[in-house]
Amino acid sequence: MKKYNIGTAILLICVGIYVIHYSGGFDPIVNGTPGPGFWPRILGVLLIFVSTLLAVTTIFTRKQLADHLIDFKAKGFRQVVKLFAVMILFGVGLNFIGFLPSSLLFVVLVMWIMGVRSIPKICIASFAITISIYVIFAVALGLVLPKGKLFY
């Protein structure tokens, strides 16, 4: 388990460095308020910090961590893989169909994968979450949400 923790820590430190490097092209502060580069840098630094913490605690742990094999047939593992696929589809969907349809579909699929089978609950939650995000970011903050290539 130690080698997996160290490997994960190294990978996530690299991701944190990439995020900080990539966000370097964006202004961290615009007109005295956080700009587009502010939060990615903060999150990149936090990712590096917690990854370093994982590596250090793994190295200095005296007790032997159990080497558990991953059960690829377990329900939890399959859920993680499905959720990862849905996140990738969400990112692709942002480019093609825009934020609103992508986020509606994203919430529906995530709730279904997590075991919610009540259609009214799924509909209410997906619309409430999407509308809340739209009101906060597009209306209140004046940000432009992705429209997608199909709607130009």
Residues 45 and 98 in one domain: no
Residue type at position 81: V
Closest CA to 149 of 83, 84, 102: 102
Residues 5 and 55 in one domain: yes
* Structural domain includes residue 7: yes
How far apart (Å, rounded) are the C-alpha atoms in residues 28 and 40? 9
Full domain range(s) for residue 52 = 1-60
Residues 80 and 55 in one domain: no
* Structural domain includes residue 70: no
The residues that bridge with 30 in the sheet, in sequence order, are: 33
* Structural domain includes residue 146: no
Predicted local distance difference test score (pLDDT) of residue 28: 85
Residues 4 and 48 in one domain: yes
Predicted local distance difference test score (pLDDT) of residue 65: 61
Residues 26 and 3 in one domain: yes
The DSSP element (H or E) to which 16 belongs, if any, is: helix 2-23
Residues 80 and 132 in one domain: yes
Number of compact structural domains in the chain:
2
* Structural domain includes residue 79: yes
Q: Which two tokens stand for residue 110?
A: 């995530």
Residues 7 and 53 in one domain: yes
Residues 131 and 80 in one domain: yes
Show pLDDT as tens, one digit a residue, over the chain (152 residues): 788 889 999 999 999 999 999 998 888 888 888 888 899 999 999 999 999 999 999 998 877 666 667 788 899 999 999 999 999 999 999 999 999 999 999 999 999 999 999 999 999 999 999 999 999 999 998 888 999 888 76
pTM score over 0.75: no
* Structural domain includes residue 133: yes
Predicted local distance difference test score (pLDDT) of residue 32: 85
The residues that bridge with 33 in the sheet, in sequence order, are: 30
* Structural domain includes residue 65: no
